[in-house]
Structures are given as C-alpha cells and as structure tokens.
A and B are shown apart, each in its own frame.
Chain A
Amino acid sequence: MADDSRADILGRLRQAVPRQSAEHAPHRMFRTWQAPGATDLQGRFVERLEAARGTVEKVASLADVPAAVARYLAGQNLPARITVAPELKPRLDFAGGAVTVDDALPVEDGRAVLTGCIAAVAETGTFVAASGPGRDPRLNYLAETLIVVVGAGQIVEAYEEIWNRLRVRTGKEAPRLVSFITGPSRTADIEQTIEWGAHGPRRLHVLISDETPRPDGGRRFPRIPPGATPGCRAPAAARPP
C-alpha cells in the first residue's frame, strides 16, 4: 500500500502539465531594513531584540558573566539558582559567587537557564540555537528565565549566513535542530492580546560579550555580497532541460 501511494502521488504530479513554471531564480538578498549596508550589526541586533521584549547587557569578557547573572537574577527578584548549558559550563566559574549552579533538567515552573548560541542575527535580534555535541537545545524552551551569552563576533547580518557558517552545503549535513529564537515565548490567542511565557521563557536576557564563548574565537563569518547566490541550486532533475 505504501509503495502504491508513493507511486500514485508522484505519478499524478508528473502527469499533470503545470500551468505555471517559473525558473528557479538565483537567490536575491533583499534589503531587510531601512538602512541598507548598515554596518552596526550589534546596534541593530540590540534594537530589534529590545523591540521583541528581550533585554540586553554588555560584558567585557566571559569572566564577567557569573556576576552579571547574579545581578540580573537579583534585579528580577528571582532565586539565585541557575542551570548552565553544558557548552558553557567549562568556560565559566561560578564558584564562590552568589549563584548556585543546578544540574537537573529545568522542567518545573520558575527555573532559570544560562546558555550560549551558535550565532546571532542582527536582522531581527535573533539568536540561533542548535543541537550538536555538547549542546542541549531543550534548555532554551524549558527555562522560565533564559539568559543567553552572545559573542559580539557571533552577530551576523542575515539568516542565510548561519547556514554558510554551518557549512551545510559543503557536504556536511544540517544539525538535527537549528532554532531561530527572538524574544521571550508569547501567545496572543486570548483576545489577540500578547501574554509572555506561553511555554518557553517569560523573560529573555542577552549578555553580549566581547569575548566569544566558542573555540573558534570571535571570527566573523563571511558576509554574503548583495546579489550573490550562496550555493543555492536546484537539483539536476528539477532543472528545466
């Protein structure tokens, strides 16, 4: 039955003469904000993140993160306890500070999580989480308070650059999960009025660090020049003869 269904569906699609058949045009980078060619990626990132109800604090280095976390939790009247994402744990020293580090998965109400990201996008104030060795992206969705460390050098202009960064197209497969996250979780289902913390974080705080918490350092990703077609290709079979 299963094979029949596959053959039937593909057969019907191939049999029909399409009425519309535009070419697969090369990908075009459109201007996505009013100041094309803007170079202040960090400024844009902060502006858009704040517009999405995120908050931002700048720190000079990773060594300053534990104190910034303690200050933020205290400022929000939250308990001085936090779950630290596995990729950040070896890089941060919470010993002797005011905050207790928690190890259990934060499934119950009210938990705070400190996590990193693989990149951030200036376009919309977005940070990008991904699965992979030593990372547990579930933490991003379970936390009620989420604090994210973003390296200043991790901020790129547009979403497309993330995939180049992951080198998905040079034969490397995409990670199981790549998640673009912008501001706290929200819902407007009841009378179209926004409420925060629908399932994920009620508050999202970003620490922009001049030092990037990744082994490959603060290296900037290659920018996509306007009009370029970054490795975007239709499969051979789909190209018109």
Chain B
Amino acid sequence: MEVESGAFVEKARAALGDATLQHALKHIKHGFVEARATAAARLPDFEAMRDAARDVKAHTIAHLADYLEQFEANVTALGGRVHWARDAGEARAIVLAICRNAGARTVTKSKSMVTEEIELNPYLEEHGIEPIETDLGEYIIQLRREKPSHIIAPVIHLSKDQVADTFHEHHPKYGFHERLTVRSDMVREARSILRQRFVKADVGITGANFLVAETGSAVVVTNEGNADLTASLPDTHIVVTGIEKLVPTLEDCHLMLRLLPRSATGQDITAYISFFTGPKRAADLSGPSSFHVVLLDNGRSNMMGTEFEEMLRCIRCGACLNHCPVYANIGGHAYGSVYPGPMGAVLTPSLAGIDKTGHLPNASSFCGRCEEVCPVRIPLPRMMRHWREREFERHLTPRGARWGLHAWALIAASPTVYRAMQWTASRVLRLVAWRGWIRRLPLAGSAWTSQRDMRAPSGDSFQRQWRKRGGRR
C-alpha cells in the first residue's frame, strides 16, 4: 500500500490554505455529525447496542481462524470459492487470474476500501482490463485520477463546480457535451453512462461490509444500489475484503447493521443492504454463475495479540473521521493514506509499518471524540499513543522532539524541579504578555505563536490553588 505520510505537515498546511477544500469540508458538520447525533438519540438502546457490538467483534477476532474456516466451508459447499491473500500482491494476482479466466475486458466495481488498499485499479489497467468504478464518488475520483479523501464519502473534498468540470472534460466521448451545473442533472448523466457500462461488464467486484460465518454470506451496504447491479448483472462476482470482516451469525450481522449507517451518515438504514451467498442456483432466474471471495490479510493477522488488536473491530463507518477536529480542518488527502483520520492513524502504521507512516500517530489533539463516537468502542487515542511510543523507541521521532521529550521527562519526574520551572515560566510569560495575550514566543514556542496568540498565565498554578484549599474542591 502506497503511503505518503512523510509530507503530512506540508500537505496539512496547504490544505488549511485551500479555500475550496475548506468550503467543502464545512459539509461534514451538518451532513454527518448532527445526523449521527439525531439518529443515535432516536434509538433508546443505542449505547447498549454499542457494547454488544464491541463484544461480538471481540469474540469473533479472538476466534477468527475458526470463523474463517466455517465461512470458507459454507461458501465452498454452495459452489463458491474462497481465496487467501497474504498481501496486496497476492490479492491482485488472484483477482487478475479470475478476470482472465472469465475472459474479462471490463470490470464494474462498487466502492471498496480494500481494493483501494491493494491498488487494484492500476494493476488491472496495466494488464489490459478496464475497471469501472460505479459509486458516484469513486467514479468521480477515478476520472480525476485521485484517491478517496474519506472512507465513506470519497469526494468530500470536491465542490460541485469541480465535479461539473470533471464531467465536462470526460463525458463528451459519450455524447454529452454540455457543462451541467445542476446536481440532479449531473447525477442523471453519470447514471446514464454507467448503466451502459453495467450492462456490458464481464465481472463485478464488490467489497464486503461484513462476512457471515454461519451462512457464508458477504454483506454489502450502499445507498445507490450500485453494488447490487455490480453483483447481479455480470456472470462472475468477486468479493474482495479483509479477514477481520467476519461476524458469527446473521443476528450478529443485523446488530452491526443497525449501528453502521447511524454512525456513518445518521441514516437508520441505507437504501440497500444485500446478503450475497454463493453463485446462482439451478432454479434462479438470474445471478452470476461464479462467486469468489478474496480474503486479504496484508498485516492484519500481525495485529492479533498486540496493543492494536482492538483495531480489528473497526467496521469502517467513518464516524471517527467526521468527528475529528484535525480531519475536519485538513481533509483526508493530507494523511497520505487511503485510510485517513483517527482510524487511519492507527491502521495505516499497522499495515504499512511505522517507519513509513511518520506523523500519522501525531495527527491528533487527543480530544477523544473519535473514541466517544466509535460504534465498536475502539480506544483510538490510546492506540495512537502506543504508536507514538513505538516511534520514540525506534528513534523515528525527529531529534528536536526527542530532546524536548527527554527534557520534559526530567522536569516532570521531579516535583521540585517541575514547580520551580513552572514558577519561572509563568513569571516570564506574564512579563512578555500584553493585555493578557502573548503574540510571539522564541524557539520551540514559535511553532505555537506563528499560527495563533497564546493566553498569558493568570493567577496561581493548579497545584498552588489545590494546596491553598487544603486539597479539597
């Protein structure tokens, strides 16, 4: 998986100065944050359901090998095939082999973050197979040769005008020459073009939001219905997904399905939730005759038994992105990984290695909102802290920051030194302040004051006030 997190600081700075992006990101609050709060409030047992979902996933992960075998046995019994891929390269080769076997020239795809993770599209193109993204957002970024900037809203970084330009540039070859500016017209035009692609595709590739062990079903959630057309029209259906998507039973799956859309978009349910189980049966009137599931590891099994194991519970709802003050200000591309935001800051180093993903665990203010809204209660801030520790242990932290941390450790470990330093610092800061504000600080402090003013310390320190009150509230 390609990661460009090294340039996080520069990209974040550029994102903050990008007026179009800043305008686009404003939609997060109304579109996602408020919608989730309303949906959660409507469910009387929402918090208890989150506990139950956490427990179901924890149980599944602990017994993952057994459930994977059960899933495989059920798929095989119905005439489907399960393929195991240790890494992205194996997964791509498996998909290509199936496509070639089917004599495929074009492949329709419904949105799948795992196929983004393994960079499937460029690989298929190199080998003469045309992949066609059918989720409207994914279709737009495919035309623009970009990566998604959000795991459930791939073009949240774009304005309507940018999309209009993209369609105007790419649609004349289908006979559409007018630059459309009304959203409904744009959607209608894309629908009409993609419908023709659907009908002619040889293979359909979807991801899976869940895999159900007891039936061998792959479950896909969409609002557009594109996964259903992808999986129902061609003669071959390939599901590409991660090994952690298992749930034991159909009931477990419905528990998850009640939480996923509410956490993601604030919908009680998405327009389409489909359970795909094996290939077409003898008496069926339609459906693919060939059904494949590609199970991708790519670093996931290495998370088992580590402090990052709980990340395997993630159901990719995107709530942590939507509620993250860092994400809301810089968008997804600055992270340099297809998994941005808090979940990406934890997952990307696990999949690609902490040496390649510098800055990601630091792209957080540790405000804790991600953990507050996570439907399966993943302790994301704690895990980012674990990554920071590993970075430090492996000397990946920049020298200045390492010295700073060493100095801080010395000061913080001795109450006397700490108090003395604090007393001195607060006196000095009050001297340089003007009307309660500090405009400019030297050295390391300049990083703070170059972006914003700092409040001057006022009154006594917390410790002194605590002592004065005799240790009482």
Q: A residues within 8 Å of B by Cβ?
A: 1-2, 5-6, 8-10, 12-14, 16-25, 27-28, 30-34, 36, 48, 52, 86, 107-109, 123-124, 126, 131-138, 140-142, 158-160, 163, 168-169, 173-193, 195-201, 230, 232-235, 237-238
Query: B85–A5 contact, CB under 8 A?
Result: yes
In Å, the complex CA distance between A117 and B265 comes to 27
**Which residues of A have CB within 8 Å of B285?**
86, 131, 133-136
**Which residues of B have CB within 8 Å of A234?**
59, 63, 248-249
Question: B164 to chain A: closest CB distance in Å?
Answer: 9
Question: A62 to chain B: closest CB distance in Å?
Answer: 21
Residue from the list B67, B68, B224 in contact with A187, Cβ < 8 A = B224
- Besides A23-B55, A124-B268, 4 more A-B contacts (Cβ < 8 Å) are A25-B56, A27-B249, A177-B232, A190-B187
Q: What are 8 sample pairs from A and B whose C-beta atoms fall under 8 A apart?
A: A16-B306, A25-B55, A27-B252, A190-B158, A191-B24, A196-B184, A200-B228, A235-B214
**Which residues of B have CB within 8 Å of A169?**
214
Residue from the list A16, A108, A188 in contact with B304, Cβ < 8 A = A16
**Which residues of B have CB within 8 Å of A21?**
58-59, 62-63
* Chain B 286-317 per-residue mask, 1 if CB under 8 angstroms from chain A, else 0: 11000000010100011011110110000000
In Å, the complex CA distance between A176 and B215 comes to 11
Question: A205 to chain B: closest CB distance in Å?
Answer: 15
Query: A176–B277 contact, CB under 8 A?
Result: yes
**Which residues of A have CB within 8 Å of B135?**
189
**Which residues of A have CB within 8 Å of B192?**
109
**Which residues of B have CB within 8 Å of A189?**
135-137, 140, 153-155
Question: A77 to chain B: closest CB distance in Å?
Answer: 17
Specify the main secondary structure of chain A where it touches its partner. loop
Query: A173–B271 contact, CB under 8 A?
Result: no
Determine the residue in chain B with the shortest Cβ distance to A21.
Answer: B62
Q: B residues within 8 Å of A by Cβ?
A: 24, 27-28, 30-32, 42-45, 48-49, 52, 54-56, 58-59, 61-70, 77-78, 83-86, 90, 94, 134-137, 140, 153-156, 158-160, 163, 183-184, 186-188, 191-192, 194-195, 198-199, 213-217, 223-226, 228-229, 231-233, 243, 248-252, 254-255, 257-258, 265, 268-281, 283-287, 295, 297, 301-302, 304-307, 309-310
Query: B62–A22 contact, CB under 8 A?
Result: yes
In Å, the complex CA distance between A5 and B64 comes to 16
Q: A19-B305, A235-B66 are in contact. Are A31 and B45 (CB under 8 A)?
A: yes
In Å, the complex CA distance between A31 and B269 comes to 15
The winner among A107, A180, A184 for most chain B CB atoms within 10 A is A180
**Pairs of residues from A and B, 3 with the lowest C-beta to C-beta distance, nearest first:** A200-B225, A192-B31, A16-B305
Query: A18–B65 contact, CB under 8 A?
Result: no
Query: A179–B305 contact, CB under 8 A?
Result: no
Question: B114 to chain A: closest CB distance in Å?
Answer: 15
Query: B183–A22 contact, CB under 8 A?
Result: no
Query: A180–B226 contact, CB under 8 A?
Result: no
Question: A151 to chain B: closest CB distance in Å?
Answer: 21
**Which residues of A have CB within 8 Å of B280?**
131, 176
Query: B305–A238 contact, CB under 8 A?
Result: no
**Which residues of A have CB within 8 Å of B163?**
190
Query: B304–A12 contact, CB under 8 A?
Result: yes
Query: B284–A20 contact, CB under 8 A?
Result: no
In Å, the complex CA distance between A196 and B158 comes to 20
Query: A187–B187 contact, CB under 8 A?
Result: yes
Q: A133-B284, A160-B250 are in contact. Are A178 and B183 (CB under 8 A)?
A: no
**Which residues of A have CB within 8 Å of B304?**
12-13, 16, 18
In Å, the complex CA distance between A55 and B158 comes to 33
Query: B45–A18 contact, CB under 8 A?
Result: no
**Which residues of A have CB within 8 Å of B272?**
179-182, 185, 200
Residue from the list B65, B158, B283 in contact with A14, Cβ < 8 A = B65
Residue from the list B66, B233, B281, B309 in contact with A131, Cβ < 8 A = B281
Question: B206 to chain A: closest CB distance in Å?
Answer: 12
Question: B94 to chain A: closest CB distance in Å?
Answer: 8
Determine the residue in chain A with the shortest Cβ distance to B194.
Answer: A199
